[in-house]
Amino acid sequence: MSEKTGKLFEQSRKAGCIMSSFWIFLTVIVGLSVIGNFVVKIVKASKSKHGSNETVAMIKDLESEIAGMEQDLEDARARIEVLEKIVTDDRYQLNKDINDLAQQA
C-alpha cells in the first residue's frame, strides 16, 4: 500500500469512528430523554388526586410504554454496533479505497 493510500485509509477510519460515536451519542440522548419524560409522567400520575384505580392503571400503561421504548433503544444500539463493524471492516475499506483509486484514474 502506498503512503498516500495509507494516509487516506487512516483518515477515513478516523472519520468513521467520529461519526459512529456521534450516532451512538445521539441515540443515547434521545433514549434517555424519552425515558425521562415517561418517568416524569409516572411521578405526576402517582401524585395526582384522580383516584387510586385510575392512577394505578395509568402507571401500568406508562411502565409498559417505557419497557417498549427501552427495548427499542437496545435494538437500535445493536444495529448501530453492527453498522460500525461493517464500516470499520478492513475489507470494506479496501474495496472503498480501490474504488476511489479507480475513479481517480
Three-state SS letters, the chain: CCHHHHHHHHHHHHHHHHHHHHHHHHHHHHHHHHHHHHHHHHHHHHHCCCCHHHHHHHHHHHHHHHHHHHHHHHHHHHHHHHHHHHHHCHHHHHHHHHHHHHHHC
12 in a structural domain: no
Q: pLDDT digit string (tens) for 15-63?
A: 555 667 777 888 889 888 889 888 888 888 777 665 577 777 888 899 9
103 in a structural domain: no
105 in a structural domain: no
C-alpha cell at position 69: 421504548
Q: What is the pLDDT of residue 23?
A: 79
10 in a structural domain: no
36 in a structural domain: yes
Q: Which residue range forms the structural domain that includes residue 94?
A: 17-98
57 in a structural domain: yes
Q: Is the pLDDT of residue 94 over 70?
A: yes
